[in-house]
Amino acid sequence: MVRAILLGLLASAVFAQSTAPVRTFEVASVKPHEGPMLRLGVSTAGLRLTADCSNVLMLVKFAYNLKNFQVTGAAPLLKDDNTRWDIVAKAAGDAAPTAAEFRQMLQSLLAERFQLQVHREMREMPVYALAVGKNGPKFHQSDPDADASSQYSTKDRDMVITMPKATMSDVADAAANANLNRPVVDKTGLTGTYNIKLTYTPNFKRYNGSAPDVDDLDVFQAVEKQLGLKLEEQKHPIPVMVIDKVDRTPSEN
């Protein structure tokens, strides 16, 4: 009983809504996408939010700042990649909204136009726990003036991730981006920022019919050998948003 109460409190904290005044879109156009899929995803600039060729799952993930594994539900549009939308929306006022304000405004738009209804809960699911290896970390504290942005590049067969000022949560996210079949949770206990470089061979390069190279490292091996960390299979409570309802045809502009 105590554990259930704690999980409920954690879910409430993770998905808590701000009590600050909610900004609104002055105008918003929602249209079915037509033509090729040249650009995909949601972006913001100045007063404007733009969604290009985005399905409901992509819109919900941006609106609530969630990852794939955190969104579930019976709504058919979640897995219908052929139903995509183009959205152009302009915020009211003169000051550019913050990222959090843009997310709140998109939440309101989805509720109004798509009749989106959700509820939040904690679910225990398989994860990879990012933990410190037996010999300790192999990286150093970041320079105070280091750039906090991450760079993803390729070199021959490998993916190269450079993070001059990374938290362990950033490292967990980088490992999860290696197309793992479960989320990655930081359990290192390390709270600083660190200079990180991770080089691994993506699975599709290792198993796409080409001959493997003796120097290939999958993300598990790379995390251990290069960072002194490890990815362990565990179960862990994860905050999840459940889609209860979403209309296939949004309301008129």
What's the pLDDT at 40? Answer: 85
Is the confidence at residue 205, as pLDDT, over 60? no
* Residue 6 phi, psi (nearest 5): -65, -40
Is the confidence at residue 1, as pLDDT, over 50? no
Residue 14 pLDDT level (bands cut at 50, 70, 90): low
**pLDDT average, residue stretch 36-59:** 91
Residue 17: name the closest of 88, 68, 65, 82 by CA. Answer: 65
Beta strands 229-245; 71-73: pairing state = parallel
Q: Over the chain, what is the mean pLDDT?
A: 86
pLDDT, one tens digit per residue, over 168-197 is 999 999 999 888 888 999 999 999 999 999
Is the confidence at residue 5, as pLDDT, over 60? no
Candidate from 92-106, 136-150, 195-209, 214-228 with smallest mean pLDDT: 195-209
pLDDT, one tens digit per residue, over 97-138 is 999 999 999 999 999 999 999 999 999 999 999 999 999 999
**pLDDT average, residue stretch 49-58:** 92
Q: Give yes or no for a contact between 216 and 93, defined as CB atoms under 8 angstroms apart.
A: no
